[in-house]
Amino acid sequence: MNMIRLTIDNQEVTTSKGLTILDAAKNAGITIPTLCYHERLNPIGSCRLCVVEVDGESEPVTACTTPVEDGMLVTTQSDLLFRLRQNALKLILANHPLDCPVCDKAGACMLQDLTFEYKITSIDCPAPKRNFIPSYQTTFIKHWPERCIVCQRCVNACKEVQCIGAIDVEKTEDGPQLTFNRDKCVSCGECVQVCPVGGMLEKKSSLRWRSWETTKIRTTCPYCGVGCQQLLHVKNGKIVQVTGVEDAEPNKGRLCVKGRYGFDFIYSEDRLKTPLIKENGQFREASWDEALDLITQKFTEIIAKHGPDALAGVSCARSINEDSYNMQKLFRAVIGTNNIDHCART
């Protein structure tokens, strides 16, 4: 009873009542261009690129905010819609610096892709002279106000996904611009994750990279037991960026500040790479076999002299769940003590 039928581009579509035209089109495999829309956010309708024609409506409507109705006839591609989308893109580009050669977002920029798709080679309207608010930046992120298209993705992501509300839109004499509350901002990077252009960028890595130079490797975040899915962006064997996997459970693209930016330790010069054994007050490097044999010997001596409860173990939060399981199994079943804990236990 909650299913309805409509026609999109002469294709009959059956969809759930309450969805938008954009949702129904996506589910049917029909592409409608967007900039401000994001699957994890409530519809914004600010970019005007998803406009479609609906039979009976005098003007095109935004597909991301218009709910479907039974019997609705929708057209997503026409000469009129092409021109409207072209004009919307030109207005955005008139306020946007064409600095793609030096922008870190080049190659992964939705505005770039749409400009190419809609064959925009020149901008008819004159570029306005605007005064931008000072750039906002933290240790991990940097806002480029001149590149921002005020799509409000970051605003909604900060409010709806992170429930923080550190970003807002302010009306100024030079048009709407983003404002940031430094007291609320936790540098989680959710704004960077959802930004469709180069308005919010990583400031973490000292390495520069282009999107096509990196290889994406999916992995599980090691910082706690939630199991958030990550994509490691690797260039020349080094991680330059970490993003959340948008369509993966349990995080659906979200990451905490440690999960997104805590990869410095991998390349630290102070990181131990081989076991060390202390002799006569000094550490020396040893093989794994020698180190493990020494541990086994010391554990055996302690158990024989003081009993198994003289030993205790703490599992590292950066270990995977299976390693933590084996750790407690070693202490309970092999050593014979329940003195086992985990540093992330609450």
Quote the pTM value.
0.82
pLDDT score for 264: 84
Same domain assignment for residues 226 and 260? yes
Same domain assignment for residues 255 and 222? yes
In a domain, 96, yes or no: no
Same domain assignment for residues 196 and 233? no
Give the chain's domain count. 4
> 3-class SS at 190?
helix
CA 166 to chain centroid, in Å, comes to 17
> 3-class SS at 4?
strand
DSSP state, 256? -
> 3-class SS at 61?
strand
Angstrom distance (rounded) from CA 255 to CA 69 = 37
CA 6 to chain centroid, in Å, comes to 34
Q: Is 204 exposed, middle or buried (0-12, 13-18, 19+ CB in 10 A)?
A: buried
pLDDT score for 29: 96
In a domain, 219, yes or no: yes
Same domain assignment for residues 218 and 293? no
pLDDT score for 187: 92
Same domain assignment for residues 214 and 161? no
The count of other CB atoms within 10 Å of the CB of residue 203 is 18
pLDDT score for 9: 97
Report strand pairing: 3-8 vs 73-75.
Answer: parallel
Full domain range(s) for residue 56: 3-90
Same domain assignment for residues 19 and 76? yes
In a domain, 98, yes or no: no
Domain termination site, one of 60, 90, 120: 90
pLDDT score for 65: 97
Same domain assignment for residues 211 and 163? no
| Cα–Cα distances in angstroms (integers) from residue 91 to residues 61, 126, 132, in the given order | 18, 9, 17
Same domain assignment for residues 86 and 11? yes
**What amino acid is encoded at 195 in this protein?**
C
The count of other CB atoms within 10 Å of the CB of residue 65 is 15
DSSP assignment string, 84-142? HHHHHHHHHHHTS---GGG-TTTTS-HHHHHHHHTT-----SPPP---PPPPPB-SSEE
Phi, psi (degrees; rounded to nearest 5) at 344: -100, 5
In a domain, 303, yes or no: yes
Angstrom distance (rounded) from CA 238 to CA 233 = 8
- The answer to whether the bond into 33 is cis (omega within 30° of 0) is no
- CATH assignment at residue 232: 2.20.25.90
> Which residue, 176, 3, 152, is CA-closest to 64?
152
- The rounded radius of gyration (Å) of the Cα atoms in the chain is 27
DSSP state, 74? E
Decide if 20 contacts 64 (C-beta within 8 A). yes
In a domain, 127, yes or no: no
206-237 pLDDT, tens digit each: 567 888 999 999 999 988 778 899 999 999 99
Q: What is the pLDDT along the chain (346 residues), one digit of tens a residue?
A: 589 999 999 999 999 999 999 999 999 999 999 999 999 999 999 999 999 999 999 999 999 999 999 999 999 999 999 999 999 999 999 889 888 988 989 999 999 999 999 999 988 877 667 788 888 999 999 999 999 999 999 999 999 999 999 999 999 888 899 999 999 999 999 999 999 999 999 887 656 788 899 999 999 998 877 889 999 999 999 999 999 999 999 999 999 999 999 988 888 999 898 999 999 999 999 999 999 999 999 999 999 999 999 999 999 877 777 888 999 999 999 999 999 998 777 5
In a domain, 168, yes or no: yes
Same domain assignment for residues 39 and 58? yes
- Region of 242 please: left (phi>0), alpha (psi -120 to 50) or beta: beta
CA angle 88, 92, 98 (to 5 degrees): 135
In a domain, 334, yes or no: yes
Domain termination site, one of 271, 305, 324: 271
pLDDT score for 71: 96
In a domain, 95, yes or no: no
- CATH assignment at residue 34: 3.10.20.740
